[in-house]
Amino acid sequence: MSIETISLSGRKKEVSNKKMTFLESLYLVAIFKGLFITIRHLFKRKVTIKYPEQTRELSPVYRGQHMLMRDEEGKERCTACGLCALSCPAEAITMKADERKPDEKHLYREEKYASIYEINMLRCIFCGLCEEACPKQAIYLTKSKVMVKSNTNREDFIFGKDKLVMPLDQAMRNTQLKAVN
Amino acid sequence: MDQAIIIEKSVIIISVFALTMLMAMYSTLAERKIAAWLQDRIGPNRAGKGGILQPLADGLKLFAKEEFTPNTQNKFLFVTGPAISMSMALMTSAVIPWGDKLHLFGRDIILQATDIDVAILYVFGVLSVGVYGIMIGGWASNNKFSLMSAMRAASQMISYEVAMGMSIIALVMMTQTLSLKEIAEQQSGMNWNVFYQPVGFLIFLVCSFAETNRTPFDLAECEAELIGGYHTEYSSMRMGFYLFAEYASMFISSTILAVLYFGAYNYPGMDWMEQNVGVNIANVIGMFALFAKLCFFIFFYMWVRWTIPRFRYDQLMRLGWKMLIPLSIANIIITAIVLLLHDKAI
């Protein structure tokens, strides 16, 4: 079996040390072939994207930054069960559970809530397993195109509830939209 | 009358100098752009529109760098090296005919700094002095890599000068003159020397690549083996001078290629234009024709750079001594026989 039939691409060439003919040893033909190949690339479409002006198109299954959802009445859905932290392969999520006080009923849906909920954005791999694990549909990976900003301080990459929880007015707007529809 | 000649020549010299500098500057941008395009990239495009100010930015950066001098006994030579390279690269342009003549203020102005009878010998003389720039720079760097690179460059340039000179001898036998102006005039119309001396042209082309230290003959700055080559120890504008000299000599050698083999400023229908449209317009178009030809050769230099990999040192020497020199000798003999038979026929 020759090497051409084995190779998957079919382009593999067996190395040979055969003596070059006179025409080959002048290299002229080979050089002109090479020049022709490079000049063809001059007219090819360039793949470079001029980044700050143009951005690459995102994939339809793109997963952006996380968001802790609120329900229709604007209460936080999260009950601090810890399943997201358990499912997280990068161990990026930490939380601290607390019991809901009677006067906090309008803030949290369940009797238990997360008083601290932190995602380390340096560890997170945006796999979306937390979203899948959540029994309360509380954590979602949004389609937001805002990337995590670069920073010189590691602590700044730990996103707390101030950055993660959905803003209240957005939750209310969603409820209104749902009512209209 | 004398004053008029001085003014006329000064204008020509200054504009040729400015043109050489400008071309060397923009060759750096062209090199980067063409390199990018041949590799399916875009290339520098941030400084100015489409990167048009990039050479200025590069120059400014080089000026702002620390001027480092190695601990060597030859501080004077260390400074002399780049100066020689630069001045030799610029001196060659003195004998190049940029156009036939212009008729201004009631005088015929010949578009050439000086029309000496031995222009080709002058070019060769200046070219061979150019080796010293590299040699002295490499020696004064007090660095073994620089020295090795300088030795490589010197032996390479001396080797290829032989073949280059011989390829020119065949041309000189045919044209019966050493003056570039007369060679240019003989090629009027499409009577270009490349059609009569294709082998000579090929040898000359290969040798000019070697003489200007361009890929595939850039063993002197072989990064993998010799760091930066002879300009390893150079920084700031001294290094800029070496790089600038390389581009300037590339520009000059493209011009010489165009003048010797590709009809200089001649273009088809030039005589008709001179009679019907006027001497000035016909010759300005001729200057642009020469410019277009030399731009093509500059492009060709860059095109080859991104196509052919560097030679190994023994391959380089074999090509120079065992192939190009016998080929150029054969070319001389064949040219001589053809000329002899041709004369007899007449």
**Chain A residues touching B304 at Cβ < 8 A:** 35
Is the peptide bond preceding residue B216 cis, with omega within 30 degrees of 0? yes
Query: Where do the structural domains in chain A lie, given as residue ranges?
Result: 66-180
CA distance B25 to B16: 14
CA distance A60 to A73: 30
Whether A38 sits inside 8 A of B42 (CB atoms) is no
Helix (H, G, I), strand (E, B) or coil at A176: helix
pLDDT, residue A132, reads 92
The minimum CA-CA distance between A15 and chain B, rounded to whole Å, is 19
Does the domain made of A66-180 have the CATH classification 3.30.2350.10? no
The alpha-helical segments, DSSP class H, found in B39-187 are: 54-64, 75-91, 119-140, 144-175, 180-186
Probe site for chain B from A28, A36, A48 (most B CB atoms < 10 A): A48
Write out the binding residues of A.
Answer: 78, 81, 84, 88, 124, 127, 130, 134
Average pLDDT over residues B254-278: 83
pLDDT, residue B114, reads 80
CA distance B81 to B58: 21
The minimum CA-CA distance between B259 and chain A, rounded to whole Å, is 24
- A40 touching B (Cβ < 8 Å): no
Complex prediction ipTM: 0.73
Whether B37 sits inside 8 A of A39 (CB atoms) is no
**Chain A residues touching B49 at Cβ < 8 A:** none
Query: Where do the structural domains in chain B lie, given as residue ranges?
Result: 2-36+64-345
| Whether residue A25 has pLDDT greater than 80 | no
pLDDT, residue B76, reads 86
Q: What is the pLDDT of residues B201-216, one digit of tens each?
A: 889 998 888 888 887 8
Contacts with B84 (C-beta within 8 Å, 6 or more apart), sequence order: B129, B130, B132, B133, B136
Amino acid at A177: L
Handedness of CA B222, B226, B227, B232 (dihedral sign): negative
For residues B105 and B37, the model is more confident at B37
Amino acid at B54: Q
Whether B303 sits inside 8 A of A48 (CB atoms) is no
Q: What is the pLDDT of residues B325-342, one digit of tens each?
A: 888 999 999 988 988 888
- Token pair 């400084």 is at which residue? B47
**Are the C-beta atoms of B141 and B149 separated by less than 8 Å?**
no
Whether B38 sits inside 8 A of A41 (CB atoms) is yes
Whether A35 sits inside 8 A of B307 (CB atoms) is yes
- What token pair was written down for B29? 């941008």
Probe site for chain B from A36, A37, A41, A43 (most B CB atoms < 10 A): A41
**Chain B residues touching A38 at Cβ < 8 A:** 38, 303, 306-307
Q: What is the pLDDT of residues B121-141, one digit of tens each?
A: 888 888 888 888 888 888 888
Please, which pLDDT band fits residue B41 given cuts at 50, 70 and 90?
confident
**Are the C-beta atoms of B51 and B36 separated by less than 8 Å?**
no
Please, which pLDDT band fits residue A86 given cuts at 50, 70 and 90?
very high
Give the chain A residue nearest B44 (alpha carbons): A50
The minimum CA-CA distance between A56 and chain B, rounded to whole Å, is 16
- B71 touching A (Cβ < 8 Å): no
CA distance B85 to B110: 28
Please, which pLDDT band fits residue B275 given cuts at 50, 70 and 90?
confident
pLDDT, residue A89, reads 93
pLDDT, residue A3, reads 58
- B40 touching A (Cβ < 8 Å): yes
Probe site for chain A from B307, B316, B319, B323 (most A CB atoms < 10 A): B307
**Are the C-beta atoms of B9 and B113 separated by less than 8 Å?**
yes
**Are the C-beta atoms of A68 and A138 separated by less than 8 Å?**
yes
Find, among B292, B250, B240, B298, the residue nearest to B55 by Cα. Answer: B240
- What token pair was written down for A175? 């409820």
- Measured in Å, how far apart are chain A's first and last C-alpha atoms? 68
